[in-house]
Structure 1
């Protein structure tokens, strides 16, 4: 198998979401998960053509939904420092509970659906 060169700060596989109101998605991920914005280019003054955030070394790419590119959501699993605190931040910022925090064999975990239609499985190790 050939060796490929992946640009710095990227991974071999990254989710690419198409969301309604991508600017608010950035704010949600910054507030709830401590995301940092890596890149953003606008389609026009109101919609994002392509943007990238980073959550603890993992990149998520996304864009605003359009008539051509319809909304496409994802389910994501994210390790956090505190499942309970992050779960509450998500709810405080418009997410819906899918599963309240509970101890699981793989760690303390909860599930939320963000205001943009994505599911986040929030976990910290016990």
Structure 2
């Protein structure tokens, strides 16, 4: 029987975060987002060489910085150009929970023209998260109409 190219429990695309302080990050993602630790592989010096967490039905991986292997956290670059988009049942409650755990709000939750209520925060490790609750099913033509209406009113 052939082995699946995607292991059981994973999706085709899996984010991999490099952080400064992976043990703290594992705890923080659990506290702020309810992430569940799936595995942890220690590295020399008390660091974490690889870990995996799950939020809902999605996994993400993380590890401590290892500059010798070109694995650097966002602060090494002055921030990260990559963000993560997390759908949750209640964006306002999740944002409040993350802020209480130490996240910094970049934008408060608000209803968006494309059918999501969305807020943005930066976690204590420099990663940007868009936290959203889908509130309205709308067609692509309606999204385009709303976007154009917004553009013409500014």
TM-score normalized with structure 2 length: 0.75
Counterpart secondary structure, 2:95: helix
Matched positions, count: 124
Match of 2:97 among 84, 89, 98: 89
Determine whether 1:24 maps to 2:32: no
Gaps of 5+ in 1: none
Structure showing greater radius of gyration is 2
Compare relative contact order (CA 8 Å, sep 6+) and give the higher one, 1 or 2. Answer: 1
State whether structure 2 residue 73 is matched by structure 1 residue 71: yes
More helix by share: 2
Q: Which protein has the bigger strand share?
A: 1
**2:10 matched residue in structure 1:** 10
Unaligned regions of 5+ residues in structure 2, if any?
75-79, 136-154
Aligned-CA RMSD value? 1.6
Moved over 2 A (4+): none
Shift of 1:70: 1.8
Structure 2 residue aligned with 1:115: 124
Q: TM-score, normalised by structure 1?
A: 0.91
